[in-house]
Chain A
Amino acid sequence: MAFTLFILLIPLCVFLLLALSGKRLSAGVTGVIGTLGMAVVAGLSCFSAYRYFFVIGQSGGNFPALVPFSFEWLRFTDTLSIDLGILLDPISVMMLTVISTVSLTVHLYSVGYMRGEQGFQRYCAFLSLFTFSMLGLVMATNIFQMYVFWELVGLSSYLLIGFYYTKPAAVAASKKAFIVTRFADLGFLIGILLLSYCTGTFDFGELTANNGLLVIGSTTGMAFLGLSAASWALALIFIGGAGKSAMFPLHVWLPDAMEGPTPVSALIHAATMVVAGVFLVARMFPVYYFAAHDVLMLIGYVGAFTALFAAVVAVTQTDIKRVLAYSTISQIAYMMTALGVSGFSGPDGLGYTSSMFHLFTHAFFKALLFLGAGAVIRAVHSNEMSRMGGLRKHLPVTHVAFLVACLAIAGIPPLSGFFSKDQILDAAFHHDKVLFVALWLVAGLTAFYMFRLYYNIFWGKERTYEHKPREASWTMLVPLGILVVLTAVTGFFPFSKFISSDDMGYAAGINRGVAASGVAVALIGILAARMLYRKENDRPAQLAARMGGFYRAAVEKFYIDEVWMFVTKKVIINCVARPLAWFDRHVIDGVLVDGTGRLTEKIAGSIKGMQSGQVQYYALVFIAGALAVAVWAIYI
């Protein structure tokens, strides 16, 4: 399986090629290089998935964790070192196929979508950098390597959100995304250090071996504020994951990140990067389950709350990309909740399986939604729902693709979303009824806001457009087609056979009762949306008026941004930053730095005379120095 190294190297090479070749490449060549590179990576990824699952297959009952490539990168002590390597196990191989497939479709789509944009080469280079980092993240053999790629992912996300760097909103959004996730990553880093301090290793294999025995063994007896060291470390690590995966209250960066180009939103802020947090928890799942079950429960509740919260906000938004952004937050929270309610081993681990399953299916239909939205935005030159309507006649292909994606996310069989969502609901139902009800409500809300979006864009009132909206070019439609197919068929994969909490595989069926209730609530949502938005009428406005304050609060995203602004601008700046700035300016800078500088300059000036240029004097100093040293050395 050593060829998997090329999966990493190819995007890196493409990035270097595009970034270093200056302005010599034309847009066409750039697109071809980027897309071809990604096509090879996608091919290799699918081939490695085939090899891993079907040729190597299970040995001794479970799927083995392979490390086809690894070397020691930095060695601190004889026992603690950082390796760089490639880890292949069911979830990393699954992620490889997701990332590379979505990345391929996005690359191809970008060729059409970004036509004529300034800096297309820069765009493609960053896209390759992102793909490289993301692939490295999922294949990391140890948590420190993952952290390195984690930061690289954050960096490329920052660069791509701020792609239109002349637009103030984009610059602000990129900074916000970077700062919020960096802030969360601080928790991640402290968690890593704490964990490795206790266990003496970074390696995932060693951490998760024997049901997290190493972690449990090395942290017994260490507790702080009533929580064990393992719980602290894992909770801190989860904060990093919550930042990247936009869990409440760290979700504020994701809606703003929609300032980036739409294909970027599809790749990074819907399908791949934002699920890194889920992936992280899944990667460490045995440790969470056995060593810090309290944290796992917390994850479940945070997830369920975020899912509900984001779904409510999504109902009220009018910018179509923001609706999709909140929908993403809600769906990722779904996956988190699924992990939170999961048991371990066999059918008990349904939550784990379903979380990964939903990650897998969600990547495709959410990318499809974003790419479809991109085609709409491209056609009408606006993100606002109020500027759209009746587009089904103008954009027939996009219309069908979007409808399929909406049905999938609403969980209508036989599309892929149905299967994964049903499993999550099933897992929640057997574990915690409160969480189940929350998720069940979210399912209904999801169907409602997605079809609100759908009817507003493609039905509703006919608008008059400046230019007649035109269907997108083939480079944009082909990716839509690929994703439609994937959205339709991926639900039929016997996912639990391959991916399970203990890597053993089992057969998971459909729980008819749960499935029926899920579909029913989704249908209610769809019908409600149809009543309200299919034809233009004043019912939505009346309903909004009747909801009063709650509606307004939801439109304003429950003022979370304002809370953060208050905390950062007022509290942190006034109470922490200003005193520190004063201390820095007057004590550190004034006394220490400038003082040292002045002193150094003074000494440098006063000893200048020693360098007289006279060789006799040099010789004198030489001999005197040697004698002085000799005398001194004798008396040491």
Chain B
Amino acid sequence: MDFSNFLKLNQEAGLVAVLLVLLICDMFGGEGPKRWLRPTACTLFAVLTAIGFFLPATGEAFGGMYVSTPMTVLMKSLLNLGTLFVFLQSGQWLRSDAALRLREGEFYVITLATLLGCCVMISAANFMMLYIAVELASLPVACLAAFNKYKEESAEAGAKYILISALSSGIMMFGLSYLYGAMGTLYFDGMASMTANAVTVIGFVFFFAGLGFKLSLVPFHLWVADVYQGAPTGATAYLSVVSKAAAGFVLMFTLYHVFGGMEAVWHTLLRWIAAATIVVGNLFAIRQQNIKRFFAFSSISQAGYLLLGIMCGTAQGMASTVFYVLVYLFSNLAAFGVVAAVENQSGRTDIAGYNGFFKTNPGLAAIMMLAVFSLAGIPPLAGFFSKFFIFSAAAAKGEYVLLFVALANTVVSLYYYLLIVKAMFVNPAEEQPIGRIRPDGYNRLSLIVCTVAIVLIGIFSYFYEYIDSISTGMKQLN
């Protein structure tokens, strides 16, 4: 066997290495080493993320089952970055009580395990590989959701996630069996000649349903709110950013490389699903009282915008999608960083708790404001540019009706995002407002990085141009 294949997997291999180090440290270390768990996790992981950015390895491995291109390397680095922020933001919560502190290592190890699944998903060029990766990415998330297992809602979130996840995997597998039946192979290359007929369409739709579950597209989205609300905030942040981004990337690759021959079918399909996802996410977000539930619906509608970029099928669409994820990652994690800090210290997750937040915590309120403004797409923040690029990609494709729906919905989304800002800046504080919140140094670091990124990424065109330079459209092998 040619072991040089493994070099192509340097990001995954790095992940496994970090995972093992942490696992051993957690299992056999005493109190002393355990104190170093979080710094080690964050440092190793930061190094790993940097490796992705600076030492990319590209090529095929394992007879074409695994493919690494500059684009996949970038995507995985983005996922790494998102997970790193989740780690930075979760530390305070993990140390908030003794029972959790005992399991701190577990949190890192489980998260890394699902991240490993996400990474392999992106690089998979064979449906069996992809399926296993999806399972690897999904199962540990249930553990994460149920991490506060003595809390009812956390346990409930875990149970709901695993049930729906199992269902969606089943459906996905069912779809894959149809595809295998039709084409006689599971390699992406071999399936690229697929054309639309009843069997392949059914196979595609069921496969799509499996990804739609992870991406929280309508009508596969109902689990999202309950799980996001019940899961610990760190897990919610992970779910809303990393897991969703990975599914989006995989959908993009499979659409472009496998289902290119039936573009007419999926284009129409995705057009409606994107519109429905944006609209439904927005409509539900308006009435939410709980900030985590609120961000659950906001993330559903954001997934709709993501789909808008994916369905273009052009290099421009790919570039705008990846850039959208990059910006969404920073914006959403900035918001979740604040939510986590508030929840850790005051236990509040209702939006009313944020009334008069600006008076007591001007800095955090400003970060939250920038984050939601970026999510809403207000210039000159990065979110404006990412929406702008998505819209111009869609316009180049002639999707004017869908574009109108999306644009109208940005106005609706502005309304509910502004509700948060209003609560923080305008509403009078309650009699016992949240006191001064002090995020720990790690979380503070993540918030600062996210805020700087929100402000600067859009203005400095370098980022988009780099992504644009490595983007490919359909019908070229990744």
Contact surface of A with B, Cβ cutoff 8 Å? 71-75, 597, 600-601, 603-605, 607-608, 610-611, 613, 615, 617-619, 621-626, 628-630, 632-634, 636
Contact = CB atoms under 8 A, between A and B. Distances in A.
10 contacts: A74-B461, A75-B461, A597-B415, A600-B283, A604-B286, A615-B163, A619-B164, A621-B222, A629-B205, A636-B265
B198 A634 contact: yes
Contacts of A613: 226
B225 A611 contact: yes
Contacts of B204: 633
A625 B219 contact: yes
B442 interface: no
Contacts of B330: none
A615 B223 contact: yes
A625 B206 contact: no
Contacts of B287: 601, 604-605, 608
Closest 5 CB pairs of A and B: A625-B219, A626-B209, A630-B205, A618-B222, A604-B283
Contacts of B201: 630, 633-634
Nearest to B168: A622
B286 A601 contact: yes
A495 to B, nearest CB: 39
A636 B267 CA distance: 10
A74 B389 CA distance: 11
B362 to A, nearest CB: 11
B281 to A, nearest CB: 11
Nearest to B170: A623
A628 B272 CA distance: 13
A73 B458 CA distance: 10
Nearest to A602: B283
Nearest to A73: B461
A73 B225 CA distance: 39
A234 to B, nearest CB: 29
Interface string B270-288: 0001000000100110110
B100 interface: no
Contact of A622 (B159, B222, B461): B222
Given A604-B284, A604-B286, A622 B167 contact: yes
A622 B283 contact: no
B282 to A, nearest CB: 8
Given A611-B225, A613-B226, A623 B205 contact: no
Given A603-B283, A633-B201, A634-B198, 7 more contacts: A72-B465, A607-B284, A619-B167, A625-B218, A625-B220, A629-B269, A633-B269
Contacts of A604: 283-284, 286-287
B352 interface: no
B268 A636 contact: yes
B320 to A, nearest CB: 13
Contact of B171 (A610, A626, A632): A626
Contacts of A618: 160, 164, 222-223
Nearest to A616: B163
B222 A610 contact: yes
B171 to A, nearest CB: 6
B24 interface: no
B213 interface: yes
Nearest to A615: B160
A575 B265 CA distance: 54
A440 to B, nearest CB: 50
B327 to A, nearest CB: 16
Contacts of B220: 622, 625-626
Interface in B74-126: none
A397 B167 CA distance: 90
Nearest to B160: A615
Interface in B167-192: 167-168, 171
A623 B171 contact: yes
A379 B461 CA distance: 52
Contacts of A615: 159-160, 163-164, 223
A607 B282 CA distance: 12
Contact of A600 (B160, B198, B286, B465): B286
Contacts of B465: 72, 75
B264 interface: yes
B414 interface: no
B164 A622 contact: yes
A158 B219 CA distance: 52
A52 to B, nearest CB: 29
Contacts of A630: 201-202, 205-206
Contacts of B284: 604, 607-608, 611
A629 B163 contact: no
Contacts of A600: 283, 286, 412
A540 to B, nearest CB: 55
Nearest to B287: A604
Contacts of A619: 163-164, 167
Task: Please indicate which of the listed interface residues B206, B225, B461 has the most CB atoms of chain A within 10 Å of its own CB.
Answer: B461
Contacts of B209: 622, 625-626, 629
A72 B460 CA distance: 10
A632 B202 CA distance: 10
Interface in B246-264: 264
Contacts of B461: 71-75
Task: Please indicate which of the listed interface residues B201, B273, B412 has the most CB atoms of chain A within 10 Å of its own CB.
Answer: B201
A77 to B, nearest CB: 10
A35 B461 CA distance: 33
A603 B279 CA distance: 11
Contacts of B265: 633, 636
Contacts of B164: 615, 618-619, 622
A74 B464 CA distance: 10
Task: Please indicate which of the listed interface residues A597, A603, A618, A623 has the most CB atoms of chain B within 10 Å of its own CB.
Answer: A618
Nearest to B388: A74
A181 to B, nearest CB: 22
Task: Please indicate which of the listed interface residues A71, A603, A625, A626 has the most CB atoms of chain B within 10 Å of its own CB.
Answer: A626
A265 B167 CA distance: 72
A623 B175 CA distance: 13
Interface in B416-461: 461
A632 B160 CA distance: 28
A636 B286 contact: no
Contact of B222 (A601, A611, A629, A633): A611
Interface in B148-171: 159-160, 163-164, 167-168, 171
Interface string B199-216: 001101110110001000
A626 B205 contact: yes
A622 B219 CA distance: 6
A552 B160 CA distance: 85
A621 B212 CA distance: 13
A9 to B, nearest CB: 15
A626 B172 CA distance: 10
Nearest to B162: A615
Nearest to A607: B283
Nearest to B415: A597
A128 to B, nearest CB: 20
Nearest to B223: A618
A629 B266 CA distance: 11
B202 A634 contact: yes
A621 B280 CA distance: 15
